[in-house]
Amino acid sequence: MKIFNTFEKATILIVDDNPTNLKVLSDAISSLGWEALIAIDGENAIEEAEYAQPDIILLDVMMPGIDGFQTCAELKKKSSTKDIPVIFLTALTDQFDKVLGLVTGGVDYITKPFNLDEVLARIQVHLKLSLLTKELEIKNQELDRLVEERTQKLSLTLDKLQQSQLQLVQSEKLSTLGELVAGVAHEINNPLNFVMGNLGFLRNYINALTQHLELYHQYYPNPVINITKNAKLIELDEILIDIPKVISSIDTGLERIHNISDSLRNFSRSDVSKKAFFDIHEGINSTLIILSYRLKGNKLRPDIEVIKDYGNLPLIECYPEQINQVFMNMIANAIDAIDELCQKVADVQNNKNYQILIKTVWKQEEELLIVTFKDNGLGMSVETQKQIFEQFFTTKPRGKGTGLGLSISRQIIEEKHNGRLRCFSVLGEGTEFLMEIPVR
């Protein structure tokens, strides 16, 4: 953009079909050190203005061909000439003509016969105005650029701050959760091992006592009346039949506690600092065992069915504890979505089968692991899907969610494992989360 002041050379285009006016004006302009360009009609004026880009145009109204008003209108239509100030020169004195000149884009109006000093003075005024306008435009552009730079810097700083905050929350959450789960598993194992060890002794003792009672019955088939009465009173025959069943039930319960304890220890593996080879299916199964109490039916819905469509996967090199945290978020969110749908359904006895489909696929040629979690719960709107991975965004009531689970999950998959986490959902039909983890 050309910047000038009144002491530098400016270019003035004079448009007039009168040779005398052209001579007088051009001589006066040249005497001030400015360059004078000449055009005798509107068509030539438009061409000259586009080529030379004058600083001001002195434009006669009454000319052969297109008049000054039309010429000005054409100049204002073109991007290359629309900002050039136009001063009308005319013998017309009608107020309507003056208004028409200003409406078509003129900045000033000088009536013929003109006073030369007045013309030069007005040219200087509009040169100064043009200068100030262009300087203001440059300042505005510089200001816009500075604002944009500051905004970008602030945005970058905010992104870094959010990432640091998210990493801090994630690290603290993983550390706290890992310590808590590992501590619970350890506390469970101590009494569990004690009970399981003593249950073996108890089983042997009961078997020995049962055999001893059978020997008594064999060699003393007719006991005294008090023993017979007491045997009927305590239902001895039923006790002897039920004792093995009770022992078997205790075995089953202890085995279940043992599986939960193993799942807790697997879930809380402390491999945060380095990658390790990990069985993805073991991680999913451990998470399902931990969340099994939430999968059970309640007053609003029946049991949630978990469908496992597992592919043949190799051990995957990853951060196991972080991957387990993603699995926990995915399955817990699926359960929440189903529960939210059940709360909105008027007829809770709709006999709908609520399901969570977990599918794993190994693409050997691409060395790519794909894991999907799909539920038939509440689903999400398009607007919600656009924000679902944003930090602190949640659709859950206050106190039910922090809005960090999915943002942390995306960071784990995409930043820690160079993968991708995507969401596909239809409101009222369900949601599917798909994660892709490249091994290399």
> pLDDT of 212-234, one tens digit each?
888 888 888 888 888 888 888 88
Neighbours of 307 (CB within 10 A): 10
Tokens of 153: 């810097």
pLDDT at 375: 94
Choice between 111 and 353, residue whose per-residue pLDDT is larger:
353
Region of poorest pLDDT, from 37-51, 69-83, 197-211: 197-211
Q: Please tell me the predicted confidence (pLDDT) of residue 433.
A: 95
Structure tokens at 253: 């319960």
Model confidence at 346, pLDDT cuts 50, 70, 90, reads low
Q: Which helix (H) or strand (E) holds 93?
A: none
Q: What is the CA radius of gyration of the chain?
A: 44
pLDDT classification of 392: cutoffs 50, 70, 90 = low
- pLDDT, residue 424, reads 93
pLDDT grade for 184, boundaries at 50, 70 and 90: low
- Total residues belonging to the chain: 440
d(CA 24, CA 20): 6
Residue 436 vs residue 63, higher pLDDT: 436
pLDDT tier at 143 (50, 70, 90 boundaries)? Answer: confident
Q: Helices then strands (H, E): number in the chain?
A: 12, 12
Distance between CA atoms of residues 310 and 360, nearest Å: 5
Mean pLDDT of the chain: 81
Mean pLDDT check: name the lowest of 10-24, 253-267, 361-375, 383-397: 253-267
Position 1 scores a pLDDT of 40
- Strands (DSSP E) contained in 98-190 are 108-111
Pairing between β-strand 355-363 and β-strand 368-375 as defined by DSSP bridges: antiparallel
Domain ranges of the chain: 11-114, 271-440
pLDDT in tens, 400-410: 555 567 888 88
- Cα–Cα distance for residue pair 74/67, rounded to 1 Å: 11
186-211 pLDDT tens trace: 667 667 777 777 788 888 888 888 88
Alpha carbon distance 284, 335 (integer Å): 15
The pLDDT of residue 5: 45
- Record the pTM: 0.48
End-to-end CA distance of the chain: 53
User: At 356, is the pLDDT very low, low, confident or very high (cuts 50, 70, 90)?
Assistant: very high
Give the CATH class of 271-440.
Answer: alpha beta
Buried b (16+ CB within 10 A) or exposed e, 323-348: bbbbbbbbbbbbbbbbbebbeeeeee
CA angle 193, 197, 201 (to 5 degrees): 165
pLDDT over 90, % of the chain: 14
Q: Residue 357: its pLDDT value, please?
A: 96
DSSP 8-state class, residue 303: P
Lowest average pLDDT, out of 25-29, 40-44, 91-95, 428-432, goes to: 91-95
CB-based contacts of 425: which residues, under 8 Å, 6+ apart?
A: 379, 380, 384, 385, 431, 432
149-176 pLDDT, tens digit each: 888 887 777 777 666 665 655 555 555 5
Residue 288: alpha-carbon gap to chain centroid: 27
Sheet with 355-363, edge to edge strand ranges: 305-309, 355-363, 368-375, 430-438, 420-426
Greatest CA separation found in the chain?
155
Mean pLDDT of the region 340-368:
82
What pLDDT is attached to residue 431? 93
How many other CB atoms are found less than 10 A from the CB of residue 126? 18
Topology agreement, domain 11-114 and domain 271-440:
no
Residue 90: is its pLDDT beyond 70? Answer: yes
The rounded percent of the chain whose pLDDT value lies above 70 is 82
Q: What is the mean pLDDT of residues 17-29?
A: 87
**Token couple for 106:** 């003129």
**What distance in Å separates the CA atoms of residue 379 and residue 394, rounded to the nearest whole number?**
14
Fold assignment, 11-114 = Rossmann fold (3.40.50)
How many C-alpha atoms does 214 have within 13 Å on its Cβ side? 8
Q: Which residues contact 421 (CB under 8 A, 6 or more apart)?
A: 326, 389, 409, 410, 413, 414, 433, 434, 435, 436
- pLDDT at position 343: 82
Tens digit of each residue's pLDDT (9 = 90 or more) over 104-136: 778 887 877 888 888 888 888 888 888 888 888
Evaluated on CA atoms 278, 279, 281, 287, the torsion sign reads: negative
Is residue 48 pLDDT above 50, yes or no? yes
Confidence of residue 421 (pLDDT cuts 50, 70, 90): very high
CA-to-CA distance for 215 and 222, rounded, in angstroms? 13
| Per-residue pLDDT tens over the stretch 270-297 | 444 578 888 999 889 888 887 888 898 8
| Confidence check: pLDDT of 39 > 50 | yes
Greater confidence, 68 or 259? Answer: 68
Contacts of 367 (CB under 8 A, 6+ apart): 438, 439, 440
Residue 166 is predicted with a pLDDT of 59
DSSP code of 416?
I
